[in-house]
């Protein structure tokens, strides 16, 4: 039980009246102070004796959504007692800073009341919601007593996404090795592809017992799934490579491409310069795990890009590699020739000056398609286009203009590189 803000103001006024009455010798002021004191005592007695049996619950819909989406917290109160309640006060917190307050009229026995408020979703992240507190106050709102404190829960706000074109189908030596996916039925009857050592989580029904007996280690059969796209998404989370708003755009771009790949039931992997590695996987649970990691991504690492590039080079992976590298530090885009070069022209002349892009160019021997996405700090020459796409043997560089949409620059890159335009373009917030 405690005084409300109004109660503290009322108590201060009462003390002021009493002090003024003593100083001036005015009986009327002293009587007003006494009336105020009696009012506060009666409020304490009413709150103490009138504790109702009320149950409250919060329903968050939805608990996961993209930035800019609509989420509501619905609050339901029900009087389980045999007496009429007093005026109830409901307080709920968002992320420990913002607070929602509203009053509920007295409830009859068995009566319920419902209310809702909109949850802020303007930026990505994982935010705490609660605790939800229900209290009872006196008729004047001077004294409050908390009846129930509901547990806190969290709302996950994913990055904003844009509808972009998915990558075309990829083929390679290791299409499903090490992937966690939920397409086991589709895999039945697939042609045998290769053998590899057992990893924790593998289906024991795929053990090749003859090879296991010969090598002394559990060997797993791999099957070829040529229709399934495989992609590695690399997010450079070094603060030196991004402007304050550039990193946010890079995270949204990663989320957009991951969403497009997920809708195509592709095998996706998310890696970062700081060391995060989601592993290859597909299905809704794997997609949500990637989006949750993007929701809390921050540009704080000081690790070297060369270490990540060397690790990717050592791994036997194929498919596509899309690197979101921030701002390139090499030759300005306006000085480059945007037309594709003929096969056999060295990439060094194009990528000189930026060691990160040169490292990505060397990974073309391991991946079927390598692209780098950067967000320019300054404007580009040549109008207000989406940016500039430079297609070179081994690497496709996509430079997005400061105020341009990533979807437009990505679609232009897909047209130049693969000759296929996205069926759905434009920005969408979910």
- pLDDT of residue 186 exceeding 50, the answer is no
What percent of the chain has pLDDT above 90? Answer: 23
Q: Which residue has the higher pLDDT, 125 or 141?
A: 125
Residues with Cβ within 8 Å of residue 416, at least 6 apart in sequence? 340, 389, 391, 396
**Residue 179 pLDDT:** 42
What percent of the chain has pLDDT above 70? Answer: 80
Q: Is 45 helix (H, G, I), strand (E, B) or coil?
A: helix
Residue that has been written with the tokens 């056999």 in this structure: 344
- At 373, the pLDDT band (50, 70, 90 cuts) reads very high
Segment 150-156 shows an average pLDDT of 83
Determine the Cα–Cα distance for residues 201 and 218; give it in Å rounded to an integer: 13
Segment 396-407 shows an average pLDDT of 88
Q: Which residue has the higher pLDDT, 328 or 225?
A: 328
Q: Which has the minimum average pLDDT: 137-151, 197-211, 393-407?
A: 137-151
**Residue 210 pLDDT:** 87
**Whether 260 contacts 166, CB under 8 Å:** yes
Determine the Cα–Cα distance for residues 278 and 289; give it in Å rounded to an integer: 8
pLDDT in tens, 312-364: 888 756 788 999 987 654 443 333 344 333 333 334 344 545 788 888 888 88
Determine the Cα–Cα distance for residues 208 and 200; give it in Å rounded to an integer: 16
Continuous segment of H or E residues that includes residue 295: helix 284-295
Continuous segment of H or E residues that includes residue 303: none
Q: Which of 128-142, 151-165, 384-398 has the highest mean pLDDT?
A: 151-165
DSSP result, 336-377: S--SPPPTT--SHHHHTT-HHHHHHHHGGGT-SEEEEEEE-S
**Residue 43 pLDDT:** 82
**Residue 337 pLDDT:** 42
**Residue 1 pLDDT:** 73
- pLDDT of residue 4 exceeding 80, the answer is no
Q: Which residues pair with 78 in a beta bridge?
A: 55, 112
Continuous segment of H or E residues that includes residue 321: strand 320-324
**Residue 252 pLDDT:** 95
- At 191, the pLDDT band (50, 70, 90 cuts) reads low
pLDDT in tens, 19-65: 988 888 888 888 898 998 998 888 888 877 777 788 888 889 999 99
N-to-C CA span, the chain: 43
Determine the Cα–Cα distance for residues 320 and 364; give it in Å rounded to an integer: 9
Exposed e or buried b for every residue in 162-171, given b needs 16+ CB within 10 A?
Answer: bbbbbbeebe
Segment 300-305 shows an average pLDDT of 88
**Residue 170 pLDDT:** 56
Q: Which has the minimum average pLDDT: 100-104, 165-169, 260-264, 293-297?
A: 165-169
Q: Is 65 helix (H, G, I), strand (E, B) or coil?
A: strand
**Residue 235 pLDDT:** 95
Determine the Cα–Cα distance for residues 145 and 411; give it in Å rounded to an integer: 59
- pLDDT of residue 185 exceeding 80, the answer is no
């Amino acid at each position: 039980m405690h005084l409300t803000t109004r109660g503290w103001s009322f108590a201060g006024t009462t003390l002021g009246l009493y002090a003024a009455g003593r100083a001036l010798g005015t009986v009327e002021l002293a009587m007003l102070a006494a009336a105020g004191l009696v009012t506060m005592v009666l409020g304490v007695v009413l709150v103490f004796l009138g504790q109702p049996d009320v149950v409250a619950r919060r329903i968050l819909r939805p608990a996961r959504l993209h930035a800019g989406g609509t989420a509501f917290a619905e609050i339901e109160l029900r009087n389980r007692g045999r007496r009429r309640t007093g005026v109830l006060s409901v307080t709920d917190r968002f992320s420990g800073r913002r607070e929602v307050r509203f009053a509920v009229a007295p409830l009859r026995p068995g009566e319920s009341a419902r209310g809702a408020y909109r949850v802020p979703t303007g930026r990505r992240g994982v935010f705490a919601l609660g605790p939800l507190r229900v209290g009872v106050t006196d008729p004047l709102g001077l004294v409050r007593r908390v009846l129930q404190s509901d547990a806190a829960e969290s709302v996950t706000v994913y990055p904003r996404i844009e509808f972009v074109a998915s990558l075309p189908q990829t083929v390679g030596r290791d299409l499903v090795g090490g992937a966690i996916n939920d397409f086991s039925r589709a895999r039945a009857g697939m042609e045998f592809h290769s053998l590899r050592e057992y990893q924790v989580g593998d289906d024991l029904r795929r053990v090749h017992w003859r090879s296991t007996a010969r090598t002394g280690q559990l060997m797993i059969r791999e099957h070829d799934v040529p229709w399934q796209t495989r992609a590695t998404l690399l997010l450079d989370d070094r603060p030196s490579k991004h402007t304050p708003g550039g990193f946010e755009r890079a995270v949204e771009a990663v989320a957009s491409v991951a969403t497009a790949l997920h809708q195509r039931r592709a095998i996706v992997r998310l890696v970062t310069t700081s060391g995060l590695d989601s592993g290859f996987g597909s299905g809704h649970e794997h997609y949500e795990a990637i989006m949750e990691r993007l929701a809390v991504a921050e540009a704080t690492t000081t690790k070297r890009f060369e270490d990540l590039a060397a690790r990717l080079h050592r791994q036997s992976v194929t498919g596509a590699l899309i690197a979101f590298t921030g701002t390139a530090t090499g030759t300005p885009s306006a000085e480059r020739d945007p037309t594709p070069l003929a096969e056999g022209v060295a990439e060094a002349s194009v990528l000189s000056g930026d060691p990160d892009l040169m490292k990505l160019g060397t990974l073309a021997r391991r991946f079927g398609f390598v692209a780098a996405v950067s967000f320019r700090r300054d404007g580009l020459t040549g109008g207000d286009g989406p940016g500039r796409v430079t297609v070179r043997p081994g690497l496709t560089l996509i430079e997005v203009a400061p105020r341009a949409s990533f979807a437009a620059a990505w679609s232009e890159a897909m047209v130049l590189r693969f000759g296929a335009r996205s069926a759905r373009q434009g920005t969408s917030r979910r």
